[in-house]
Amino acid sequence: MSAAFDYAPLFKPGLPAPAAKWTGLAKYNFVGGNNDAEQVPVDGLIAASQTVLKREGHTLATYGLAHGPQGYRPLRDFLAKKLKRDAGIACAAEDILVTSGSLQALDLVNGVFLARGDTAIIEQECYQGSNRLMRLGVNTIGIPLDGDGMRMDVLSNVLDDLKQRGVRAKYIYTIPTVQNPTGSIMPEARRAEMLKLAEAHGVPIFEDDCYADLIWGGRRPPALYAMSRNGGVVHVGSFSKSIAPALRIGYIVAGWDILSRALSIKSDGGSGALEQMVLAEYCIPHFATHVSDLTRGLRVKLDTLMEALNEQFGTAAEFEEPKGGIFLWVKLPDNVDTLKLYQSALKAGVAINPGPEWSVDKAYSKCRLRLCFASPTIDEIREGIAVLAEVCRNEFGVPTRSANVTRAAGRS
């Protein structure tokens, strides 16, 4: 064996930091957008895979199943109907591009629009901005959120300011329906205001609806895509939250001008056909019922998490009740540094998302964290939050030992 080959001088400059080796999942796992294992519709997926493979399995011999690069046709037909029913979107199979999860959808839309040095407007708290856009060398402007989502007064000022400086932002990215991480739903009136602002400034809206199926109340306002008067909205969604995240199927809804460009850089030979076939076969009869059951179960887990936080942290943990989804955005006292808490908690078996990983405002988010509640069991939620409180107390002196008693009665 010669001396080992040194690849380092050959790597492309500016790569992200190399990945760390996988060390397994934490015992109490409040990260990652995972779902409830008990609620994966295993029997339904087995039946669907049987039926669809028996009927169409031989078509796997052809890239794209002879349905073309936009994806399995029955899945796109299902999506067109579902999007009409749930989000008011009038679209056809031709307006949909199936992707390998909504993460590939983000990459494709970013690939179509963004060059180094471009400007993109995003929500101040969001994963896309904090992690993905930074790597692309894009100037990201974060708009602060309130309980109804992105603040339109700030957006208006930012757009005016950019105009004065001769800068046209490439898009306004938003998760209007169950915002990640705050869990808000933007009301219809604010959506209309946002569309008006975007249209006036000639900036498209990039609408990410990937959590929109999981809403406690069921009903939701129409999608921005549906409300747009000029087609200036690109819409993406996913089956990760409604069915299972390990199935990597998402989608882009847009006009052909966008889809034809996204397709030209989608160099993967199509997204996984078996997952598309099984999803279509399962979802056509079962989607609505399944999502309703799933959401009921998630609501119980959210209630458990909020109770556990109240019991363990008392007034030290502040949060708004989310309108749906799988995560809770929590503020701890100002002296808590959640990047440090993350490290200590992980050693104690509790995985959390520290706020700065979910925000472009590192100071604002320093004492905040995201807790995903779909994956841990009810017991794990209770135990994990108790461990987290203990770790936080040891490191930051909060919550105090008496806090939990005071607060437990005060918030339900």
Question: What are the Cα distances from residue 114, in Å, to 106, 140, 204?
Answer: 11, 11, 13
Residue 265 interacting with a copy of itself (CB under 8 A): yes
How long a stretch of residues is the chain? Answer: 412
Question: What are the Cα distances from residue 306, in Å, to 38, 236, 391, 409?
Answer: 21, 30, 18, 13
**Nearest approach, Cβ of residue 188 and a copy of itself (Å):** 19
- Applying CB under 8 A, among 172, 186, 215, 244 the residue interacting with a copy of itself is 244
DSSP label of 240: T
- Applying CB under 8 A, among 269, 347, 402, 410 the residue interacting with a copy of itself is 269
Residue 379 interacting with a copy of itself (CB under 8 A): no
347-359 as b/e: b if 16+ CB within 10 A: eeebbbbbbbbbb
- Applying CB under 8 A, among 80, 87, 133, 247 the residue interacting with a copy of itself is 247
The secondary element (H helix, E strand) that includes residue 45 is helix 42-56
**Nearest approach, Cβ of residue 258 and a copy of itself (Å):** 6
Residue 59 interacting with a copy of itself (CB under 8 A): yes
Residue 63 interacting with a copy of itself (CB under 8 A): yes
The span of 269-277, 312-320, 333-341, 383-391 binding a copy of itself (CB under 8 A) equals 269-277
CB count within 10 Å of CB 400 equals 14
- Applying CB under 8 A, among 88, 187, 272, 297 the residue interacting with a copy of itself is 272
Residue 35 or 310: the one with the smaller Cβ distance to a copy of itself is 35
Residue 350 interacting with a copy of itself (CB under 8 A): no
Residue 177 or 240: the one with the smaller Cβ distance to a copy of itself is 240
Residue 315 interacting with a copy of itself (CB under 8 A): no
- Applying CB under 8 A, among 164, 217, 219, 229 the residue interacting with a copy of itself is 229
Draw the binding track, 143-182, toward a copy of itself (x: CB under 8 A; -: no contact). Answer: -------------------------x-xx-----------
- Give the three-class secondary structure for 255: coil
User: Rounded CA gap, 253 and 94, in Å?
Assistant: 9
Residue 197 or 367: the one with the smaller Cβ distance to a copy of itself is 197
User: Rounded CA gap, 342 and 334, in Å?
Assistant: 15
Site for a copy of itself in 21-50 (CB under 8 A): 21-22, 24-25, 32-40, 42, 45-46, 49-50
282-311 as b/e: b if 16+ CB within 10 A: bbeebbeebbeebbeebeebbebbbbbbbb
Question: What are the Cα distances from residue 285, in Å, to 27, 66, 121, 200, 288?
Answer: 36, 24, 39, 42, 8
Site for a copy of itself in 175-214 (CB under 8 A): 199, 204
Residue 18 interacting with a copy of itself (CB under 8 A): yes
- Which residue bears the tokens 């073309």? 68
Question: What are the Cα distances from residue 333, in Å, to 161, 308, 366?
Answer: 34, 17, 10
- Applying CB under 8 A, among 28, 89, 101, 330 the residue interacting with a copy of itself is 101
